[in-house]
Amino acid sequence: MDFSLSDEERAVRDTVRAFVTREVVPLEDEVLRNERAGRPPLPDGVLTALQEKARAAGYWGVTTPPEYGGMGLAPVMHAVLEMELARTFVPFRFGGSADNILFAASAAQREAYLLPTIAGERRSCFALTEPGAGSDARNIRTRARRDGADWLLDGEKTFITGGDAADFAILFARADEGVTAFLVDRDRGWTSTPIPTMGEWSCASVVFDGVRVPADAVLGEVGGGLELALSWIGQGRYVIPARAVGAGERLLGMACAHASTRESMGHPIAEYQAIQWQIADSQVELEATKWLTLHAAWQAQTGRDARHATAIAKLHGAETANRVVDRVLQIHGGMGYTRELPIERWYRELRVLRIYEGTDEIQRRTIARNLLRGHVALGVIGD
């Protein structure tokens, strides 16, 4: 069993860490100021300029296959890279990526959707959840009815990340043959309304009212939409806990620094066991999340069925991030609760990890059912 990274992988990790530290972290104060004044986190063009800078250093399309100009990183290194990016709350992502399921597009769809999305010229949103069906995604009601050679789409989607900025939707709707994915341009007539949230994450309600699309708007097979949706969500289940690790380690570092300098009753608070235990428990839980995540990503990378491992990693990561940020806020005392520091921002942002792409309860349900039905066995090592 070898837990080390190759020299090349270590170089990727170190370069990304250095880039985040040098180029992205210094933007944090500006992001906080803008968000607190109700403005977008950064002026137009700042993130794009950063993406171009990263591109010049070879960081473009981190998971995009080389034939599309990307780095084609496999899941383990993708997870490592997400850990590095999550050390800051600045909403920076490398350019050159597209939703993993867009690679299932037909030749014409590749030209119209995949390539422009990779180039950053088009923006997608993933529209599955509905007001009446979130965890119960198999029960979506948005309808796709054939009308001659076309399809008519009717229904409402909710909590759609980037739904207000997207110029096309990957829409999941129920056809007679089963749930089907459609690529639907905004100018076909769908509308969106932003939904304010407790965090800075922007999501929207998206309405399709008799939206007409041609037969070639279907992504993949008619009736094959649920499989595509699950494969999109499956990737998130190791990306999300990876982000929990990056954010949690950054926060824990802040707590250690504060505890070492803040004095109470004649001593730095770091000398008190009550504080030490919070620090120790946080690191233990973050280490557990780190290795659960990398193991889940390794399963995906090696063609194993990663669903059980990703459910465990996603559950553990989401809960750990929330426990850690709560302890870090506590260690900072009253200052932790103010807007002088970014902790309250992380606190609000990390809360959603326990909800989207499968709630804690749904991950527990998956884990328990897999065990109770004998889909997985206890005591397995190395398979």
Ligand X SMILES: Cc1cc2nc3c(=O)[nH]c(=O)nc-3n(C[C@H](O)[C@H](O)[C@H](O)COP(=O)(O)OP(=O)(O)OC[C@H]3O[C@@H](n4cnc5c(N)ncnc54)[C@H](O)[C@@H]3O)c2cc1C
Please list the active-site residues: 357
Among residues 34, 106, 191, 197, the one that binds ligand X under rule CB under 6 A: 197
The CB-of-211 to ligand X minimum distance in angstroms stands at 17
Strands 168-175 and 124-127: parallel
Q: Which CB sits closer to ligand X, 83 or 181?
A: 181
Tokens of 143: 């309808």
Among residues 64, 117, 129, 142, the one that binds ligand X under rule CB under 6 A: 129
Q: Which residue has the tokens 């009753």?
A: 265
* Torsion angle of C-alpha atoms 234, 235, 236, 240, degrees rounded to 10: 120
Q: Which CB sits closer to ligand X, 79 or 203?
A: 203
**H-run or E-run covering 283:** helix 273-301
SS3 59: coil
Among residues 160, 169, 170, 318, the one that binds ligand X under rule CB under 6 A: 160
The CB-of-348 to ligand X minimum distance in angstroms stands at 11
SS3 42: coil
Among residues 191, 231, 330, 359, the one that binds ligand X under rule CB under 6 A: 359
Q: Which CB sits closer to ligand X, 110 or 157?
A: 157
Q: Which CB sits closer to ligand X, 188 or 365?
A: 365
- Distance separating alpha carbons of residues 293 and 249, to the nearest angstrom: 15
Residue 203 binds ligand X (CB under 6 A):
yes
Residue 128 binds ligand X (CB under 6 A):
yes
Residue 68 binds ligand X (CB under 6 A):
no
The CB-of-357 to ligand X minimum distance in angstroms stands at 6
- Distance separating alpha carbons of residues 381 and 76, to the nearest angstrom: 18
Among residues 30, 191, 365, 367, the one that binds ligand X under rule CB under 6 A: 365
176 CB-side CA count, 13 A: 5
- Distance separating alpha carbons of residues 310 and 293, to the nearest angstrom: 7
Among residues 60, 89, 92, 126, the one that binds ligand X under rule CB under 6 A: 126
Strands 218-219 and 178-185: antiparallel
CB nearest ligand X: which residue? 134
Strands 150-161 and 143-147: antiparallel
Segment interacting with ligand X (CB under 6 A) among 123-131, 138-146, 211-219, 258-266 = 123-131
SS3 152: strand
Residue 263 binds ligand X (CB under 6 A):
no
Residue 356 binds ligand X (CB under 6 A):
yes
Q: Which residue has the tokens 């004095």?
A: 263
Residue 161 binds ligand X (CB under 6 A):
yes
The CB-of-371 to ligand X minimum distance in angstroms stands at 16
Q: Report CA-CA distances (Å) from 157 to 124, 126, 177, 218, 232.
A: 14, 10, 20, 18, 17
Residue 169 binds ligand X (CB under 6 A):
no
Residue 201 binds ligand X (CB under 6 A):
yes
214 within 8 A of 150, measured Cβ to Cβ: yes
In the complex, which residues of this chain contact ligand X (CB under 6 A)? 126-129, 134-136, 159-161, 197, 201, 203, 352, 355-357, 359, 361-362, 365
